[in-house]
Structure 1
Amino acid sequence: MQNKESFSDEELAIRTQQGGTADFEELAKRYWPRLHRFLLTYGNDAFASDITQETLLRAYQKISYYHSKKSFAPWVFTIARNLALNSLKRSKRKAEVTMDENLTESNQVIENDHEIGMVWGKAKQFLSKTAYGSLRLHYGEELTVKEVAIIMGKSEIAIKVILHRSRKKLAEYFKSNPIKL
């Protein structure tokens, strides 16, 4: 019997569709930290944890809708994004969370490396939610532009423009405000 860690995400999803509960547990283990980091775009640590849990539950319940010919990551990140947006609408909260509280949490949770955490924190502070989310997915989670476009509900060209403008904006900021360790 093969070790579950040797299976791709897509293989585990297919095995889950065939009744492999333990296979989904491996997917949940792989995706919990990635989803949580992404969901910090929309709220604080507690919000991200709640929606991450809800995302994994929903993904398990709806695994029959996953198309085995497609990548698993965009499918599950789209569920996460939709649940986050729906939760924010339902609670009639604004998507903007106080920056002080959120930056402190994101620097502690997003990355262990202090310098990278500061870069992500500044990105979150200066960029729109869409721009930050796109950067986070593409560079932080290493998803392709196509996968980011699917998750964010935009065209690939729009994502490329968003990524370019975001990189340019951050480069200008850090050129005049170098990171102090």
Structure 2
Amino acid sequence: MSDELLVVRAQLGNRSALEELVARWQRPVWSYVRRMLDAERADDVAQEAWVAVVRALPRLREPDRFAPWLFTIVRRAALNRLRGQYADRHDLVGDFESDLDRSDDGARDPVDGLADRAEMVARLARLPVLEREVLVLHYLEDLSVQDCAQICGVPAGTIKSRLNRARRMLREHVQEEGERT
């Protein structure tokens, strides 16, 4: 059953449709929040976001746009938590558990993969929140530039610019580390 149909059924009061929708999106929501915040806060923020989603679901006018709408609410919950704790967005540090290098052929030693993942986590943690956020949404959550733009409330060109800047910053981190070794 499609998300759109589940949303419509949930809006009409079908509890099982709502439960299926939550079950389907629970892991992606938690993963997104976990990548933006530490593990301690991720559970609380994900729970707060789901409460907001359930309360706002009856007002969703475009059920076919559920994923961007959902991530907009989740993003807002994560940023509210970050704002409450930090004054300067450039000092925010999070934890990432995934490797953004999609060009790899996939034939890798698992031990090398763990080492690479730890290195990537360290590199990504140094990125400012806005750049980290677009990388998470676009590469890790597989959302389109248009969906990222809707979620972040900025034009698509801004998302492209942030993606470009984030990739450049990651490249610079890799080069700096290479020069030190």
TM-score (normalizing by structure 1): 0.76
Tell me what 2:32 maps to.
38
Change (3 A) 1:11 1:33: same
- Answer yes or no: is the 8 Å Cα contact 1:16–1:23 preserved in 2: yes
Q: Distance in 2 between matches of 1:115 and 1:73?
A: 32
The one-letter code sitting in structure 1 at the alignment partner of 2:154 is K
What is the identity percentage for the equivalent residue pairs of Structure 1 and Structure 2?
28
Q: Distance in 2 between matches of 1:75 and 1:130?
A: 19
- TM-fit CA distance, 1:41: 4.3
Question: What is the root-mean-square deviation of aligned Cα atoms in Å?
Answer: 2.6
- TM-fit CA distance, 1:28: 1.5
**1:20-31 correspondence runs (5 A):** 20-31=14-25
Tell me what 1:76 maps to.
70
Tell me what 1:10 maps to.
4
- Alignment gaps of 5+ in structure 2: 100-109
Tell me what 1:171 maps to.
171
The one-letter code sitting in structure 1 at the alignment partner of 2:85 is R
Change (3 A) 1:117 1:163: same
Q: Distance in 1 between matches of 2:160 and 2:71?
A: 18
- Answer yes or no: is the 8 Å Cα contact 2:7–2:63 preserved in 1: no
**1:1-181 correspondence runs (5 A):** 7-68=1-62, 70-89=64-83, 92-94=84-86, 96=91, 102-103=94-95, 106-107=96-97, 114=114, 117-118=117-118, 120-175=120-175, 177=177
- Alignment gaps of 5+ in structure 1: 1-6
- Answer yes or no: is the 8 Å Cα contact 2:3–2:64 preserved in 1: no
TM-score (normalizing by structure 2): 0.76
Q: Distance in 1 between matches of 2:170 and 2:43?
A: 28
Q: Distance in 2 between matches of 1:69 and 1:47?
A: 29
Alpha-carbon displacement from aligned partner over 1:23-78 (angstroms, at most 9, x marks no partner)? 12222222222122222344211211111111112111211111235411110111
Q: Distance in 1 between matches of 2:116 and 2:13?
A: 40
